[in-house]
Amino acid sequence: MPFPQTYPGRLYYIAADPDKSFEQKANELLAIGCEALGLDLGIISFVEGGRYEVIHSYGEAPPAPGTPFNLSETYCCHTLVAEDVTSFHHAGASRIATHPCYLNFGLESYIGTPLVVNGDVFGTLNFSSARPRSRAFDADEHALVRFFGRWFSKEWERAIQTAELERKTTLLEAVFEAIPGSVIVADQERRITMTNSTVREMFGFRPEDLQGRQTSILYSDFEQYNQAGARRFNAKSTGGFEPYEMRYRRQNGEEFTGETHATLLTTRDGKRLGYLAVIRDVTQRKRVERQRDHAISVVSHEIKTPASTISGSLQLLGRFSDHLPERGQRLLEISLRGTERLNLLIDDILDSGRLQSGQLSMTTQATDLGALLRDSVRDHAVIARDNAVQLKIVGEDAAAVMVEANPTRLAQVVDNLLSNAMKASPASGTVELGLLRGPAGFWIRDHGVGIPEQLQPVLFDRFTRSESETFRFGGGNGLGLNIVKAIVDQHRARISFETAEGEGTTFRVVFADDAAR
C-alpha cells in the first residue's frame, strides 16, 4: 500500500534539528517506523561477531539499551546474510517457525535492514510485533525500511565523526593549554584568532582583548613587527621557521625578550590558514647567561695574562733548547704545545662571549664564497694529507657566488666546519665542499659516523661535546660550533645540518636573499 509522503519529510526535520541529540533522533526514527509499519517494537542494534546488542529501542516493554543477545537467536541473522531488507509477516506459519527468536519471544512479524557505517556493517534497524500481519510486507514497505536504514546509517556516521572531532578538539585544547609558553594563532593578515591562558600571564591581555587585533600589539615597536613580516610572516613563507628571539611588550609597557617558535598553518590540500607561534619569556635565562658569560670572561681574562707570560717564557727558553738534555727538550715541546692549546681555548671562550653579547663589531664587503672554500682547502691540505683525508670542491669551475659578509669571520666558519669534517672522516675518506645558489650559501659534507642523536638538539650550545668518539683524530673544546652559529647569526644567515648514523653529516649555511651580491 502507498505510504504518506509525510514520513520522509518528518525524517528530514529530525535530521535538520540542531538541538536534537543522536539518541533523540534514533528514538524518533523508531517511533516513525513503528507508526508507518503498524508494528509494536523498534530496535537499533550493534553487531560484532556473534553478539547482538540493543543500542536504542522503542515500543511496548522494549529490551533496554545494552541488552545482549546471541545473533543466531535473532531474526537479524537472516537480514545480515541477505545484506538487504528481509521480512516475515507470520513466522508461526512459515519456514522459520522453529527459529529461536520465535520460540523464545513469539515475534510473528518482522522487517529489518543492515546498517552500514563508513563501509562496514555496524548492526541492524528492525521492527517487529507479536501479532501476525494479514499480508506480507510489500515493495513500498521494503523501500521505506531501506530508506530509514540508509538515513540512520548516515546519522550514525555523523555521530561518530562528531564524537571523534570532539575527542580531537578536547585533546588539542589540552595540548594548547599545556604548552609551556604563550601560544598565539593568527590568520594570514596576522590578526589574532586564538590564544592560550599563558598569554594573559605573560602579556597581561585578556583573550577577548586580543581577538581580531594585529599581532603588532605584542611587539616592542612597529619596526620589529614589519621586519618579522618581511622575513617570516608573508605570502612567500613556506613552512616552519628557525627559532628566533624578539623583543615584546606587555600590556603595562614593560619589554622583554621572547624566544619564538613559529610555523605556517595549512590544510591538508595546502590552503593557507595563518600562523602559529609559541613565545617563551627568556628574560631570566638571558640574565643568567649574561652573568655566566661575564664570569667566564673575567676568569678567561685573568687566566690569559699568566698564560701569555708562561707561553712567552717557554718560547724564550726554546731559544736555548740545544743546551737542554733530550728529556728536557721533550718536556719543553710538550709545555709549548700545552700553552698553545690553552691560549687557543681562552681565545675561543672570549670570542664566543663577545659574539653572543654582540660586542664584536663586524664590517661587511662583497665576499666570494667560492674563494673562501678554496682558501680553506689550501690551508688544510697538509693536515688532510697527513691524516689520509681527501678534500674535494664540487663544481669548482661554476660561476662565483657573492654575498655581503665579513670575509675574516666567514673564513672562520668555513675553517671550523672543514676541520670538524676532516676529524670525523674515516681513513681514506673524502670531505666534499660546494656552493649553493638561490639562495646563496655553501655546504660541507663528511662521510664519518654521524652526529649522535642526543647531541643534535644542543649541537650549537657552548661546551657541547659528545660522550662517544666522533672524531678520528684531533678533538675539540665544545666551543667551535657555538662560535660558528654566532657568526652565522651575525650575518642573518641560517646554518642547518643533516646527519645519519654511519653515513656522515652535511652542514649548510644559507644567506638571506638581500645578502646576495
Q: Is 395 helix (H, G, I), strand (E, B) or coil?
A: coil
Q: Share the mean pLDDT of the chain.
A: 84
Residue 305: predicted pLDDT: 65
C-alpha 215/C-alpha 174 separation (Å) is 24
C-alpha to C-alpha distances, 212 to 23, 55, 192, 198, 237, nearest whole angstrom:
38, 45, 5, 18, 22
3-state SS string for 117-157: ECCEEEEEEEEEECCCCCCCCCHHHHHHHHHHHHHHHHHHH
- Taking phi over 0 as left and psi of -120 to 50 as alpha, with beta for the rest, 428 belongs to left
Lowest mean pLDDT among 20-29, 94-103, 197-206: 20-29
Give residue-wise pLDDT tens across range 238-252: 666 678 888 999 999
What's the grid cell of residue 449? 659516523
Q: Where are the domains of the chain?
A: 6-166, 179-281, 286-357, 365-515
- Which one has a higher pLDDT value, 300 or 480? 480
Residue 336: predicted pLDDT: 72
Domain range 365-515, its CATH number among 3.40.630.30, 3.30.565.10, 3.40.30.10, 2.40.30.10: 3.30.565.10
Give residue-wise pLDDT tens across range 266-295: 888 888 888 889 999 988 877 777 676 666
DSSP string, 294-363: HHHHHHHHHHHHHHHHHHHHHHHHHTTGGGS-HHHHHHHHHHHHHHHHHHHHHHHHHHHHHHHHT-S---
Assess whether pLDDT exceeds 70 at residue 298.
no
How would residue 1 be classed by pLDDT, with cut points 50, 70 and 90? Answer: very low
- Which one has a higher pLDDT value, 12 or 360? 12
What's the grid cell of residue 118? 563508513
CB 514, CB 440: distance < 8 Å = no
Assess whether pLDDT exceeds 80 at residue 185.
yes
C-alpha 82/C-alpha 110 separation (Å) is 15
Give residue-wise pLDDT tens across range 333-352: 777 776 776 666 666 666 66
Provide the 10 A C-beta neighbour count for residue 91.
Answer: 22
Residue 199: predicted pLDDT: 92
- For the domain made up of 6-166, the CATH class stated in words is alpha beta
Give residue-wise pLDDT tens across range 393-428: 998 777 788 999 988 888 889 988 999 999 989 988
Residue 3: predicted pLDDT: 41
Backbone angles phi, psi at 442, to 5 degrees: -150, 165
Residue 191: predicted pLDDT: 92
Lowest mean pLDDT among 100-109, 173-182, 332-341: 332-341
C-alpha 129/C-alpha 34 separation (Å) is 9
DSSP structural state of residue 93 = G
- Domain range 179-281, CATH architecture: 2-Layer Sandwich (3.30)
Tell whether pTM > 0.85.
no
Quick one: how many helices (H) and strands (E) in the chain?
A: 14, 18
Residue 4: predicted pLDDT: 43
Residue 469: predicted pLDDT: 61
pLDDT, average across residues 31-56: 93
C-alpha 250/C-alpha 283 separation (Å) is 13
What's the grid cell of residue 387? 691524516
Residue 124: predicted pLDDT: 95
C-alpha to C-alpha distances, 399 to 168, 402, 424, 440, nearest whole angstrom:
52, 10, 30, 12
Backbone angles phi, psi at 501, to 5 degrees: -60, 125
Residue 259, exposed/middle/buried by CB under 10 A (0-12, 13-18, 19+)?
Answer: middle
Task: Decide if 6-166 and 179-281 have a common fold.
Answer: yes
pLDDT, average across residues 356-380: 82
Lowest mean pLDDT among 60-69, 211-220, 340-349: 340-349
Give residue-wise pLDDT tens across range 428-474: 899 999 999 888 999 999 999 898 888 888 888 866 766 556 665 55
Assess whether pLDDT exceeds 80 at residue 75.
yes
Lowest mean pLDDT among 126-140, 189-203, 473-487: 473-487
Assess whether pLDDT exceeds 90 at residue 205.
yes
Distance linking the first and last C-alpha atoms of the chain:
86
CB 200, CB 252: distance < 8 Å = no
Assess whether pLDDT exceeds 70 at residue 92.
yes
C-alpha 32/C-alpha 293 separation (Å) is 79
Residue 466: predicted pLDDT: 62
